[in-house]
């Protein structure tokens, strides 16, 4: 038989090598077709007496990334369709569909012939669940083998047997840790956990897998053997008695119960380990079906899996413009941001000229990369040679002539219009006529800066977030005159440095900072109302924010907040800033010199390590305190999420953000907006615009007009619309 996605070669010993190599794709993924073919291959291997066993491997650099977008999207649309056409049986049919991988994998492990997975590269999600169903697993000894069950990160969980096989191979604690965090394992760690049997040199992978078969690998999984015992003891053992109460508590501490997918993992393992394997798989399938019906799973998959990939692949890139090849990038300003921008550019293999006012300052900027390289080499993240090659790509300079052959120049000089104007002039005097100029300004509108440019259509904003090495998001800002060529170049650059872009129109604070400051200002309001500071921080985390607003403000720097508030007053008038906010911040900065983490004193105190930071006790004396019992934590949680989501809705109404995918992905990657919601607009769509408007009205009545729903929201509520319906990101491609 021939297959589209697999080839099979049986050798003289009767060992079948099943190579997964999907045509026209760089990565193998599980699709309905792949699954159907795998099903047929299992039958073929099982029924052909000449075949003694099989090795499954990949013909690509990676083993597989797991389930395909289309398959996951298909499950949601299938269920929606069933609810419309056959509501009484919709959940039952979803249950059948949710078990489709499990059925094939279980058939593979019980087919009577031994199977070995030869893991040659990254092996994620459903693909690792396939490997777990094999009787043997061999991994290549290379850093490119990354093993994970990351489903929880997109709101679901390993529902193709993962929650049952992992804790039957390794101790329960490690199994729970692996699945509830979605952590990536090296082959060494996977072997130590008992998830991989052997690690061999990459060129010996297939040979070793076959050797395992020849050595008489049993075609029976440990859990199908009589007398099988769960590693480390089962649920009803002293070890289990210690583990389970703590496991629930830890998960609660980490997630505040916001992630149904993570909670389901605990339930699957706890219940499954007490049951025979096939029944345990059914339990998993039931929870999987339940999770697929949650708003959290739907929204997280849409934003964190589908939209993120689409944006990363250039969903907003204008068509018909040749892809930019970057022979050289210029970075002007080798300070905090510029030094890091140079690093990520060089790390992506692109030569950079890093300019500052004098060569010493430029070299200081390069020293940042030297430190990062040293650390990475020390940690074995890359080799000495790779590190040296990276550094060789960064040329410090004080001479603008060195930018003459740069296709893109990014400025990260002081946040000062006059300094930036001078830099724009100096750069434009030397770069090629078709080169693009980008500003990393965080507060100055791009259209205003572009007025000093001699070619505003080639002028754009590329707004990075700190720390640049870690933050996956960049905001690309279009000035009034920015042309498609500049946008395409900026997006090509962001793709080259492997970050996710959102494209927004020009406005004060752009998208991310507009939302972030709403979050921080809500905390100011709570402080002023006398909400105990610890409650403010905890309520924000309970709402799903990764960092409390006061802690975040300390990181951003309180004097920067002061500068921004003052700039608003100067540019937009006194009414643009709440005088009580200004008074609070002036007191912190001017009277008390509490600037945040950078000077060791902010809303928190930062004692010398290893002591941990703690909320500054005196903060409680600023305003008469409400007793904690009088404060409704649920209201605090709503206030944080609603104030941010409302700001996001305003940016859509103003035409700043035009694609709901960007508002959602930008909010999660930019400032960690409660990821279980799927982002700011999914939060609104998820509860329904009507319910959101009602919530806003309640909050406005109790806490002020800043919560008033906008005209657009009211109109959408009246019409029963959603953001993804009204601002359908796929409308154009569907029409084409
Ligand atoms: P920084 O003060 O650390 O660095 C600025 C650098 O620019 C300094 O090394 C300085 O010597 C250099 N410089 C000043 N004038 C110059 C000139 N005429 N020619 C060449 N170099 C010159 O500042 P930063 O925090 O890196 O911020 C830089 C820009 O990035 C600002 O526009 C800021 O708003 C923006 N930004 C900062 C952050 C952040 O978190 N710090 C985040 C996003 C964007």
Q: Which helix (H) or strand (E) holds 584?
A: helix 579-586
Task: Give the pLDDT band (50/70/90) at residue 54.
Answer: very high
**Cβ contact 311:500 at 8 Å:** yes
Predicted local confidence at residue 244, as pLDDT: 96
d(C-alpha 700, C-alpha 691), whole Å: 14
Who wins on pLDDT, 478 or 77?
Answer: 478
Nearest CA to ligand 1 atom 15: 413
Q: Of 116, 118, 136, which Cα lies nearest the Cα of 203?
A: 118
Nearest CA to ligand 1 atom 31: 415
Task: Give the pLDDT band (50/70/90) at residue 356.
Answer: very high
**Phi, psi at residue 146, to the nearest 5°?**
-120, 125
**Cβ contact 68:31 at 8 Å:** yes
Burial grade of 50 (CB within 10 A; 0-12, 13-18, 19 or more): exposed
Q: Which of 331, 332, 335, 470 to mutate to test the pocket of ligand 1 (most atoms within 8 A of CB)?
A: 335
What the block records as the tokens of 1 is 């038989």
Half-sphere exposure of 186 (CA within 13 A, CB side): 8
Residue 461 bridge partners (DSSP): 439, 477
Ligand 1 centroid from CA 295, angstroms: 42
Ligand 1 centroid from CA 162, angstroms: 48
Residue with token string 């009484």: 88
Ligand 1 centroid from CA 465, angstroms: 13
Predicted local confidence at residue 107, as pLDDT: 98
Ligand 1 centroid from CA 416, angstroms: 9
Predicted local confidence at residue 105, as pLDDT: 98
d(C-alpha 493, C-alpha 331), whole Å: 13
Q: Which of 412, 437, 511 to mutate to test the pocket of ligand 1 (most atoms within 8 A of CB)?
A: 412
**pLDDT of 71 over the 90 cut:** no
- With a 6 Å cutoff on the Cβ, whether 423 touches ligand 1 is yes
Judged by DSSP in three states, 118 sits in strand
What the block records as the tokens of 93 is 């049919």
**pLDDT of 493 over the 80 cut:** yes
Atom of ligand 1 nearest to the CA of 441: 32
Predicted local confidence at residue 36, as pLDDT: 97
**pLDDT of 91 over the 90 cut:** yes
Q: Taking residues 297-312, what's their average pLDDT?
A: 94
Ligand 1 centroid from CA 412, angstroms: 4
d(C-alpha 275, C-alpha 260), whole Å: 22
d(C-alpha 266, C-alpha 287), whole Å: 11
**Phi, psi at residue 669, to the nearest 5°?**
-75, -30
Cα distances from 490 to residues 329, 479, 499, 586, in angstroms, run 11, 13, 11, 38
Sheet containing 184-185, strands listed edge to edge, beginning at the edge strand earlier in sequence: 123-124, 147-148, 184-185
| CA torsion, ordered 131, 132, 133, 134, to nearest 10 deg | 60
**pLDDT of 69 over the 90 cut:** no
Atom of ligand 1 nearest to the CA of 413: 7
**pLDDT of 408 over the 80 cut:** yes
pLDDT (tens digit per residue) in 466-488? 999 999 999 999 999 999 999 99
Cα distances from 433 to residues 473, 479, 487, 667, in angstroms, run 29, 19, 16, 36
Atom of ligand 1 nearest to the CA of 423: 18
Ligand 1 centroid from CA 413, angstroms: 3
Q: Of 366, 169, 164, which Cα lies nearest the Cα of 267?
A: 164
**Cβ contact 628:532 at 8 Å:** yes
pLDDT (tens digit per residue) in 359-384? 999 999 999 999 999 999 999 888 99
The DSSP call for residue 142 is S
Predicted local confidence at residue 733, as pLDDT: 77
**pLDDT of 53 over the 90 cut:** yes
Nearest CA to ligand 1 atom 28: 412
Q: Taking residues 535-542, what's their average pLDDT?
A: 98
Q: Which of 330, 332, 337, 560 to mutate to test the pocket of ligand 1 (most atoms within 8 A of CB)?
A: 337
Ligand 1 centroid from CA 452, angstroms: 19
Task: Give the pLDDT band (50/70/90) at residue 22.
Answer: very high
- With a 6 Å cutoff on the Cβ, whether 466 touches ligand 1 is yes
Predicted local confidence at residue 284, as pLDDT: 98
Positions annotated as catalytic residues are 463
- With a 6 Å cutoff on the Cβ, whether 462 touches ligand 1 is no
Size (the chain), residues: 736
Atom of ligand 1 nearest to the CA of 411: 29
- With a 6 Å cutoff on the Cβ, whether 133 touches ligand 1 is no
Judged by DSSP in three states, 711 sits in helix
- With a 6 Å cutoff on the Cβ, whether 442 touches ligand 1 is yes
Q: Taking residues 523-538, what's their average pLDDT?
A: 98
Angle between the 512-529 and 549-556 helix axes, to the nearest 10 degrees? 120
% of the chain at pLDDT higher than 90: 96
d(C-alpha 719, C-alpha 44), whole Å: 55
**Cβ contact 130:105 at 8 Å:** yes
Atom of ligand 1 nearest to the CA of 398: 20
Q: Taking residues 719-735, what's their average pLDDT?
A: 91
**pLDDT of 403 over the 90 cut:** yes
pLDDT (tens digit per residue) in 155-196? 999 999 999 999 999 999 999 999 999 999 999 999 999 999
pLDDT (tens digit per residue) in 574-591? 999 999 999 999 999 999
**pLDDT of 70 over the 80 cut:** no
Q: Which helix (H) or strand (E) holds 124?
A: strand 123-124
Chain-centre distance of CA 627, in angstroms? 38
Q: Of 307, 323, 260, 258, which Cα lies nearest the Cα of 682?
A: 307
Name 384's Cβ contacts closer than 8 Å, sequence gap at least 6: 377
Ligand 1 centroid from CA 1, angstroms: 63
Quote the longest CA-to-CA distance of the chain.
85
**Cβ contact 245:141 at 8 Å:** no
DSSP letter string over 382-403?
Answer: S-HHHHHHHHHTEEEES-GGGG
Atom of ligand 1 nearest to the CA of 365: 9
pLDDT (tens digit per residue) in 101-125? 999 999 999 999 999 999 999 999 9
- With a 6 Å cutoff on the Cβ, whether 336 touches ligand 1 is yes
pTM score > 0.95 for this model?
A: no
H helix runs in 226-314, sequence order: 238-255, 260-272, 277-292, 295-300, 308-312
Q: Which helix (H) or strand (E) holds 429?
A: none
| Other Cβ atoms within 10 Å of 86 Cβ, number | 11
Name 625's Cβ contacts closer than 8 Å, sequence gap at least 6: 530, 532
Q: What is the mean pLDDT of the chain?
A: 96
Q: Which of 334, 336, 424 to mutate to test the pocket of ligand 1 (most atoms within 8 A of CB)?
A: 336
**pLDDT of 23 over the 80 cut:** yes
Name 120's Cβ contacts closer than 8 Å, sequence gap at least 6: 57, 58, 61, 62, 63, 140, 145, 202, 205
d(C-alpha 435, C-alpha 406), whole Å: 7
Nearest CA to ligand 1 atom 44: 442
% of the chain at pLDDT higher than 70: 100
pLDDT (tens digit per residue) in 424-467? 999 999 999 999 999 999 989 999 999 999 999 999 999 999 99
Residue 475 bridge partners (DSSP): 463, 502
Q: Taking residues 48-63, what's their average pLDDT?
A: 97
């Amino acid at each position: 038989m021939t297959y589209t996605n697999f080839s099979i070669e049986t050798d003289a010993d009767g060992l079948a090598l099943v190579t997964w190599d999907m045509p026209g794709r760089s990565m193998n993924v599980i699709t309905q077709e792949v699954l159907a073919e795998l099903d047929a291959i299992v039958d073929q291997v099982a029924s052909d007496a000449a075949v003694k066993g099989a090795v499954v491997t990949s013909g690509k650099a990676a083993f597989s990334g797991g389930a395909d977008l289309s398959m996951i999207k298909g499950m949601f649309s299938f269920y929606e369709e069933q609810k419309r056409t056959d509501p009484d049986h919709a959940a039952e049919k979803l249950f059948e569909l949710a078990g489709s991988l499990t059925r094939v994998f279980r058939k593979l492990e019980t087919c009577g012939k031994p199977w070995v997975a030869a893991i040659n590269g990254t092996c994620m999600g459903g693909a690792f669940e396939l490997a777990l169903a094999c009787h043997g697993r061999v991994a290549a000894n290379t850093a490119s083998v990354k093993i994970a069950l990351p489903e929880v990160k997109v709101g679901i969980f390993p529902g193709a047997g993962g929650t049952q096989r992992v804790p039957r191979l390794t101790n329960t604690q490690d199994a729970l840790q692996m699945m509830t965090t979605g952590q990536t394992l090296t082959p060494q760690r996977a072997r130590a956990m008992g998830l991989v049997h052997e690690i061999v040199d990459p060129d010996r992978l297939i040979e070793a897998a076959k050797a395992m078969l020849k050595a008489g690998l049993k075609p029976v999984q440990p859990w199908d053997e009589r007398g099988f015992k769960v590693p480390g003891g089962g649920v009803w053992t002293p070890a289990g008695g210690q583990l389970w109460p703590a496991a629930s508590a830890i998960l609660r501490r980490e997630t505040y119960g916001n992630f149904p997918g993570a909670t389901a993992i605990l339930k699957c393992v706890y219940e499954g380990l007490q049951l025979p394997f096939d029944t345990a798989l059914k339990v998993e399938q039931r929870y999987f079906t339940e999770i697929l019906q949650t708003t959290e799973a739907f929204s997280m998959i849409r934003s964190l899996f589908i939209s993120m990939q689409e944006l990363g692949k250039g969903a907003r890139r204008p068509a018909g413009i040749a892809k930019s090849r970057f022979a050289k990038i210029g970075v002007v300003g080798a300070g905090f941001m510029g030094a890091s921008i140079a690093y990520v550019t060089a790390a992506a293999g692109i030569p950079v000229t890093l300019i500052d006012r004098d060569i010493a300052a430029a070299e200081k900027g390069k020293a940042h990369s030297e430190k990062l390289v040293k650390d990475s080499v020390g940690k074995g993240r890359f080799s000495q040679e790779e590190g040296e090659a990276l550094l060789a790509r960064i040329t410090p300079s004080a001479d603008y002539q060195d930018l003459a052959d740069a296709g893109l120049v990014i400025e990260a000089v002081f946040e000062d219009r006059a300094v930036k104007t001078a830099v724009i002039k100096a750069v434009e005097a030397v770069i090629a006529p078709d080169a693009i100029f980008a500003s990393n300004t965080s507060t100055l509108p791009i259209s205003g800066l572009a007025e000093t440019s001699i070619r505003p259509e080639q002028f754009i904003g590329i707004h990075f977030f700190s720390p640049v090495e870690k933050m996956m998001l960049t905001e690309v800002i279009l000035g009034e005159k920015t042309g498609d060529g500049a946008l395409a170049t900026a997006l090509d650059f962001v793709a080259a440095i492997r970050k996710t872009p959102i494209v927004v129109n020009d406005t004060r604070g752009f998208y991310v900072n507009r939302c972030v400051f709403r979050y921080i200002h809500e905390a100011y309001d709570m402080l002023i109302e006398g909400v105990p500071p610890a409650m403010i921080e905890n309520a924000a985390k309970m709402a799903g924010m990764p960092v409390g607003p006061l802690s975040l403000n300390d990181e951003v720097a309180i004097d920067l907040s002061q500068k921004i508030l003052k700039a608003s007053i100067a540019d937009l008038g006194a009414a643009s800033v709440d005088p009580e906010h200004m008074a609070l911040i002036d007191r912190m900065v001017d009277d008390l010199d509490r600037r945040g983490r950078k000077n060791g004193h902010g809303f928190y105190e930062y004692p010398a390590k290893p002591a941990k930071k703690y909320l500054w006790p005196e903060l409680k004396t600023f305003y008469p305190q409400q007793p904690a019992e009088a404060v409704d934590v649920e209201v605090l949680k709503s206030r944080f999420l609603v104030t941010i989501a409302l700001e996001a809705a305003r940016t859509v109404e103003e035409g700043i953000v035009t694609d709901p995918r960007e508002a959602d992905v930008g909010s999660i990657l930019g400032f960690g907006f409660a990821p279980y919601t799927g982002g700011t607009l999914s939060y609104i769509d998820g509860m329904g615009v009507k319910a959101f408007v009602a919530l806003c009205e309640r909050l406005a009545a109790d806490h002020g007009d800043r919560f008033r729903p906008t005209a657009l929201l009211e109109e959408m509520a009246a019409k029963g619309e959603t953001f993804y319906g009204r601002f359908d990101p796929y409308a154009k491609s569907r029409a084409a």
